[in-house]
Every structure is written in structure tokens, then in C-alpha cells.
């Protein structure tokens, strides 16, 4: 049994990270284990920016987006000397295990720390991108997808009023999950994702034909990993007679109060992570598979690339 653990968030913030950290902290305290919060991701580990947490430190945060612990992208962590310093700073405080909430990159950093030092580590997938191998869900992806469909609904109004084509670029890094699921839910005509090849000339020809037949508007959702929304919009405007506009949703899709799904799943994952690390388990990531919590080997999670469920692409084609 570990007596002292720490929790941190890292990489891009995501709605539900707070609910998750809250669950880690409260589960640990419930089990009588000391818990530290590390500020600003791996920066906090290196700069000794950490504090012992009490129950009240995680009050009034379950409903908030962002992460009250702060987060960062930390170059120094990519070097072995940095990770060794972080390890030393944990040991100096008697911290015996670490829970890392973050995306694929953060988990890669955690995997290296574990291999190099042997300190027990449990990872939790926290990113809007839903790109962590072994889990069909990451904390924040549901809220982000809901924010995107809100944008799609609004863009549809103006596209229809003006008989325009609107191209919406969304995030996801190299993964098309956000674009695909929000595109399906928002009824987009075309969804461009990095996992699927697309032929822009064929799409333009298709659009022109549909307009001739009386179509009022077209919505194209582009995952950032599949190309630039601006360039795709320009190409469509130049190769069809359709009045085209482009929106890049940007960081709006990363903020906001988490959905019920993100709050509950983040809480379940946080509880499991705390129980696992306290009991001495290490090198695992908790995620979801078909609605159930599953544990994945940490190193497998970072050494494999997640693929997009081909059923989504099929559904998008059928519903077009």
C-alpha cells in the first residue's frame, strides 16, 4: 500500500480534467492516503510547484472546464535529465506514486519516467482529441464534440439563408474522431479526416451537381489533421460556383463546462486510478471500451496508434 501519491494534468486542457482530479484526490483521502497536487503539468514537477491537498481543495470544480491544477507543454521533460530531476523532487517529498491525466504525449512522458525510475505511475486519458490507443473515450471529447455541433447548428442557419457552402475546421491533432462524430451528429455533407483519403475534385464536382439540382447549402467539416480549412474552402470556391465561407473553431472547442458524460466518466476513471496506484499497481492507463472501464498497459497505449472506427466513415457515407 502506498501512503503518499500525487496527481497532475498535462498537455492541452480538457473539460472533465477537474472532475477527474477531484475523484483522484477524494478517493485517496477516503482511503487514508496523502495526496499532492502538481501545478502546471511537468513544469510543476521540475520547479517543485506542488502542494499537499485537502478535500476542500477540489470543491466547486466538478462543473468547471480547464484544469484548476494548470497544465503545460514542457520541453524540459523530453530530456532524461529533466525526468530524473522530476523523480528526485517527488522522492524528496515522500511521494511514492503519480497519476498523470493527459493526452498521448503526456502519457509518453509518463511511460519514460516509469521505465527510467521505476516509480509507480497510472495514466488517465485526458484530451479532447480522443486519440489514446486502447480506449474508445478520452476525458473531454464529449464536451468538445457537443461544442462543435452547437457551432454546426449555427453555421447551418446562415449557410441555408445565403445558399452557401461553409467549411468548418475542427481540432483533433492527427485524429479525426472529433470531426467525424460531430460531423455525423451535425448532419454535415462532407467530413474530411486524416484516416480517410479524399478527392477534393470529386467532392467539388459532386457539390456543383447537388447545387444544380436545388441544394440550398453544404456543410463540410474538416479535421485539422486532414488539411487546412482555409485552403480547402479556397479550393471549393475556385472549383465550383458556390459561394463559400470558412470558419476555424479553434480553442472555443476546448473550453466550457463538461457534459454529464465527461463528468461521470472522468470521475469513474479518477477513482479507479487512485485505487490502483494506492494498491501498488503501475504502468497502466484506465480508459473505456464499449461503456466499461478497462485497464491498458501504459507502454502499449503510447506505442500504438489509434485508428478511427471504420463504421463511422461508412455511416457518414450512408447518411450523406
CB count, 10 Å around CB of 51? Answer: 13
- Residue 171 in marked binding region: yes
Stretch that binds ligand ATP, among 4-12, 57-65, 243-251, 273-281 (CB under 6 A): 4-12
For the chain, give the number of residues. Answer: 320
- Residue 83 in marked binding region: no
For residue 190, what is the enclosing H or E element? strand 190-192
Q: Closest CB to ligand F6P among 118 and 250?
A: 250
Q: Closest CB to ligand F6P among 120 and 229?
A: 229
Does residue 109 belong to the site contacting ligand ATP (CB under 6 A)?
yes
Among residues 27, 40, 106, 147, the one that binds ligand ATP under rule CB under 6 A: 106
Which positions lie near ligand F6P, rule CB under 6 A?
A: 11-12, 127-129, 171-173, 224, 254
- Residue 97 in marked binding region: no
Q: Closest CB to ligand ATP among 24 and 159?
A: 24
Q: Is 150 a catalytic residue?
A: no
Which positions lie near Mg ion, rule CB under 5 A?
A: 103-105
CB of 69 to ligand ATP, least distance (A): 14
- Residue 78 in marked binding region: no
| Residue from 305, 318, 317 nearest 129 by CA | 305
Does residue 240 belong to the site contacting ligand ATP (CB under 6 A)?
no
For residue 130, what is the enclosing H or E element? none
Q: Which does 102 bind (CB under 5 to 8 A by kind): ligand F6P, ligand ATP, Mg ion, none?
A: ligand ATP
Give the Cα separation of 183 and 249 in Å (integer): 13
Give the Cα separation of 17 and 272 in Å (integer): 15
Does residue 137 belong to the site contacting ligand ATP (CB under 6 A)?
no
Q: Closest CB to ligand F6P among 195 and 283?
A: 195
> Which residues ranging from 142 to 171 are in contact with ligand ATP (CB under 6 A)?
none
> 77: which 3 cell numbers?
521533460
Residues 263-277, buried b or exposed e (16+ Cβ, 10 A)? bebbbbbbbbbbbbb
Does residue 12 belong to the site contacting ligand ATP (CB under 6 A)?
yes
Catalytic residue among 13, 129, 131, 142: 129
CB count, 10 Å around CB of 308? Answer: 21
Does residue 104 belong to the site contacting ligand ATP (CB under 6 A)?
yes
Give the Cα separation of 83 and 105 in Å (integer): 14
CB count, 10 Å around CB of 193? Answer: 26
- Residue 271 in marked binding region: no
Determine the 3-state secondary structure of 278 from DSSP.
helix
> Count of residues binding ligand ATP (CB under 6 A)?
19
- Residue 246 in marked binding region: no
Using an 8 Å Cβ cutoff, are 44 and 95 in contact?
no
Q: Which does 254 bind (CB under 5 to 8 A by kind): ligand F6P, Mg ion, ligand ATP, none?
A: ligand F6P
Q: How far apart, in Å, are the Cα atoms of 313 and each of 179, 194, 245?
A: 11, 12, 24
Q: Closest CB to ligand F6P among 181 and 244?
A: 181
Give the Cα separation of 186 and 172 in Å (integer): 17
Determine the 3-state secondary structure of 114 from DSSP.
helix
- Residue 24 in marked binding region: yes
| Active site residue ranges | 129
Annotated binding site for ADP: 22-26, 156, 187-189, 215-217
- Residues at the binding site for Mg(2+) are 104
Amino acid at each position: 500500500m502506498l501512503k503518499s501519491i500525487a496527481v497532475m494534468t498535462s498537455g492541452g486542457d480538457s473539460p472533465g480534467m477537474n472532475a477527474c482530479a477531484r475523484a483522484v484526490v477524494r478517493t485517496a483521502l477516503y482511503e487514508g492516503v496523502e495526496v499532492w497536487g502538481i501545478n502546471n503539468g511537468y513544469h510543476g514537477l521540475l520547479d517543485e510547484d506542488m502542494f499537499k491537498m485537502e478535500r476542500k481543495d477540489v470543491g466547486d470544480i466538478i462543473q468547471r472546464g480547464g484544469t484548476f491544477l494548470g497544465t503545460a507543454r514542457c520541453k524540459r521533460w523530453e530530456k532524461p535529465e529533466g525526468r530524473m530531476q522530476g523523480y528526485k523532487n517527488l522522492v524528496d517529498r515522500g511521494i511514492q506514486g503519480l497519476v498523470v491525466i493527459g493526452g498521448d504525449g503526456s502519457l509518453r512522458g509518463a511511460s519514460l519516467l516509469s521505465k527510467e525510475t521505476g516509480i509507480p505511475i497510472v495514466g488517465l486519458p485526458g484530451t479532447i482529441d480522443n486519440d489514446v490507443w486502447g480506449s474508445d473515450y478520452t476525458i473531454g471529447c464529449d464536451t468538445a464534440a457537443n461544442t462543435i455541433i452547437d457551432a454546426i447548428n449555427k453555421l447551418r442557419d446562415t449557410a441555408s439563408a445565403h445558399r452557401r457552402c461553409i467549411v468548418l475546421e475542427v481540432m483533433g491533432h492527427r485524429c479525426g474522431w472529433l470531426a467525424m462524430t460531430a460531423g455525423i451528429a451535425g448532419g454535415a455533407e462532407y467530413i474530411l479526416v486524416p484516416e480517410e483519403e479524399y478527392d477534393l475534385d470529386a467532392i467539388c464536382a459532386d457539390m456543383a451537381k447537388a447545387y444544380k439540382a436545388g441544394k440550398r447549402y453544404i456543410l463540410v467539416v474538416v479535421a485539422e489533421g486532414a488539411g487546412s480549412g482555409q485552403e480547402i474552402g479556397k479550393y471549393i470556391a475556385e472549383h465550383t460556383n458556390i459561394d463559400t465561407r470558412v470558419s476555424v473553431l479553434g480553442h472555443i472547442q476546448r473550453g466550457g463546462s463538461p457534459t454529464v458524460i465527461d463528468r461521470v466518466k472522468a470521475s469513474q476513471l479518477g477513482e479507479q486510478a487512485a485505487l490502483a496506484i494506492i494498491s501498488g499497481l503501475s504502468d497502466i492507463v484506465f480508459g473505456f471500451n464499449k461503456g466499461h472501464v478497462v485497464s491498458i498497459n501504459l507502454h502499449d497505449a503510447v506505442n500504438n496508434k489509434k485508428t478511427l472506427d471504420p463504421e463511422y466513415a461508412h455511416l457518414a457515407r450512408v447518411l450523406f
